[in-house]
Copies of this chain bind each other. A is one copy, B any other.
């Protein structure tokens, strides 16, 4: 068993080094094209697509948005996004548990970013593997939903360390779940004191003005 583990780690280190290089190149390309890219990560079912649909509705008249949906299988999310008239593609990862910079670049080539201000990559629903691979995005945003519990920063530390912003979603469901706001904020900041945190509900729209302001400011900063 230790033999297997060592094998994985050796290969992984090579892949990580190559991936970081590809990610840095992709970020430079995005900066040159004035396209801001968000790598959106979460557990399965935390609300990535529902958040995206409301965000598109609020921002579509002021910026050009594109969406890349990464999934192991199915294309129901891409269909939902396309129904809003937003430029979108579905990426099937072929069983892979994450997106890396090479796969992201292929997706962006397919999508075409020349005319886009904002691209959102909806990563595979997974709190472990996507955190390990820099996709080349301008920023990392993760969603933690109230029903998942306030202990997740203790259990999935890397995900919280690599994120610029944590969206706490489904706050409308707080009445029926034990969820301690102060504890979750403290636990996230223990992992990464620079992470911003916003409380939202994709169902009711609560907190979306702040989240859209955050995006507007980041896009503006990127396009300077």
Interfacial residues, chain A to chain B (CB-CB below 8 A): 1-2, 4-5, 7-8, 11, 14-15, 18-19, 22, 43-45, 71-74, 76, 95-97, 100-103, 105-106, 124-129, 132, 145, 147-149, 151-152, 154-158, 170, 172-173, 176-177
Within 8 Å by CB of A73, from B124, B154, B177, lies: B154
**A95 and B158 contacting across the interface, CB-CB below 8 Å:** yes
Within 8 Å by CB of A125, from B101, B127, B145, lies: B127
Main SS class of interface, A: helix
If A148-B44, A176-B172 touch, whether A155 touches B7 (CB-CB below 8 Å) is: no
| Shortest distance between the CB of A44 and any CB in chain B (Å) | 5
Q: How far is the CA of A155 from the CA of B102 in the complex (A)?
A: 22
Within 8 Å by CB of A4, from B18, B97, B125, lies: B18
**A132 closest partner in B (C-beta):** B95
**B106 and A45 contacting across the interface, CB-CB below 8 Å:** no
- Since A72-B128, A129-B129, A173-B173 are in contact, a sample of 19 more A-B pairs with Cβ atoms closer than 8 Å, ordered by chain A residue number, is A1-B22, A1-B100, A1-B101, A7-B11, A7-B15, A43-B45, A44-B155, A45-B147, A45-B149, A72-B158, A73-B154, A73-B157, A74-B151, A97-B129, A124-B128, A125-B127, A126-B126, A128-B129, A147-B170
**A44 and B176 contacting across the interface, CB-CB below 8 Å:** no
**A15 and B19 contacting across the interface, CB-CB below 8 Å:** no
Q: How far is the CA of A157 from the CA of B93 in the complex (A)?
A: 13
Within 8 Å by CB of A11, from B8, B18, B95, lies: B8
**A44 and B45 contacting across the interface, CB-CB below 8 Å:** no
